[in-house]
Amino acid sequence: MSYFINLELIREQFKFETSIKHNPKTELEFLPFTTKYKDVNYSFREVVGEFLRLIGRKKLPESVNAEKLLNNVIDSISFEHPNQRGEFKQMVKTLFLDENDQLYLFHPQTLYFINTMENENKKLALFLCNILWGVKDAWSVDSAELSESDLMSTLLFRSLPELINIDSSKTSYAAMLPEISDLFVQDFQWLATKSDLFTQQVEKLISYYYFFYVTQFAVRNEAMFMPVKQAIRPIYFTFEDEERLSKTRVSYEYGWKSLEKSIGRMFSHVNFLKMLNFSIVDHRDNITHLSYQDILSYVRQMTEDEQKILEQQFNQLIDEYQQKLSGDSKWMLLGTISDVYDLPILNKMNHLFRMIDHQFNQTSRSKPYNDYKQWFMHFCQNTFLKSRGRSGKMLILDTDYLLFMTKLMIKNESKIRLINLFKEFEARGMIFDRDTQTAIVNYFEKLNLLEKKSDSGDAIYVKAFL
């Protein structure tokens, strides 16, 4: 097995003939962000509607218009007196539409009819479909007819636009963390068996898995060519019921403070990974995009002579990259880059990455660098990231998320051992220090959800709840 970069393709795609244009468009992208940040809030309600249509291979032929929907319902009924029409229309509106004329989500099938108007929400839904669902078989909400006793709901569903079946969903993003996809499908399919819970909480599930995937992608990339000892590197969260949150806490040092640095370098990693994926690889085994770990595996299987050829390629690339950006990049400020790997070629690759990251921070290109990460930073600020006074910003798990995720982990069991519950959180990217665990246990105790068979921590259970 061997791996070599395609220098000609790198020069072409990154526009070496001019002054280098970073982040070239590729057939499969890593993340759904651009270098032109728009101050928009993702509407995860819109994202959910598009996501469910995509994994179900369905399409909404037109936006659901409130007035047209009401008229369709009214037109399907015969009235003895004309004035009954207006009264009935008002009743239907009160039952099924909110103050913004959006459909109430009272049944899983209503999720299909959420209008997804913003292109950014469509783009995010496609990203989540590609990286969480992938090429798995189409999944659809149970289409069983509502009971005849629920006449009003039946009238409504018959008046909604008929969904169009499509052959397949578009693939635009590379799924780099299949272990997260497997976990998502497991949680999603269980949630789908609980009709009311699914309708109410699927937005929470998709929102969290978006956070989970992007943060793990960022953290994994920071390790680069170091061997990965554990697939998921959980991030420290605190709990909203905690009163004391100081900078001396483990959850502060290894929570948002550490994560923010990884998120900050995402744009540099995406550019470097794109370079590395313009490559010539023997025996690729259907891998669509190579990760740092994939490349490490190939390099370690190469002969010494092959590694030297690859090193020469990187020497050439480094020289050209430095020369093309010598006009505004202050390369002297980069300093000496220490060797951190046992193979010279891996150190050479690391050298190029440090150059890429350095020039973004020392030139006018810092704006696209910062705008790229802002899409995700803004999402974090509106979900899990909260300001806690002198301690600054910290990742906070609120009570709603705690209870929802606890249900998700207990699933159909009658209870779960407390120690195993915390392991399940870790498997999904969350870890708590001792103080946070205590605060969570106290909260469960307040809700009478704990069952203690002894004073031992191993014998404490969290009971299932509605």
Report which secondary-structure segment, H or E, holds 417: strand 415-417
Give residue 170's pLDDT.
85
What pLDDT is stored for residue 250 in this prediction? 84
Rg of the chain on CA atoms, in Å: 26
pLDDT category at 326 given cuts 50, 70, 90 is confident
Q: Which of 252, 239, 183, 253 is nearest to 216 (CA)?
A: 183
Average pLDDT over residues 159-184: 93
Q: Note whether 371 and 37 are within 8 A (CB).
A: yes
**CA 420 – CA 438 distance, rounded (Å):** 15
What are the tens digits of pLDDT across the range 80-106?
Answer: 888 888 889 999 999 999 988 889 999
**Prediction pTM value:** 0.94
Query: Any long-range contacts for 401-410 (C-beta under 8 Å, 24+ apart)?
Result: 401/204, 401/208, 402/239, 402/440, 402/443, 403/465, 404/201, 404/204, 404/205, 405/208, 406/462, 407/197, 407/464, 407/465, 408/187, 408/190, 408/191, 408/205, 410/462, 410/464
Question: Would you state the pLDDT for residue 286?
Answer: 64
Give me the helices (H) in 129-242, please.
151-159, 178-191, 195-223
Q: Which two tokens stand for residue 33?
A: 């962000």
Residue 229 has pLDDT above 70, yes or no: yes
Q: What is the pLDDT of residue 455?
A: 61
Which pLDDT band, with edges at 50, 70 and 90, does 77 fall under?
A: confident
Residue 144 pLDDT greater than 70, yes or no: no
Residues 9-19: pLDDT tens digits? 999 999 999 88
Mean pLDDT score, 224-249: 87
Tokens of 67: 């007035």
DSSP H or E stretch at residue 52 = helix 44-55
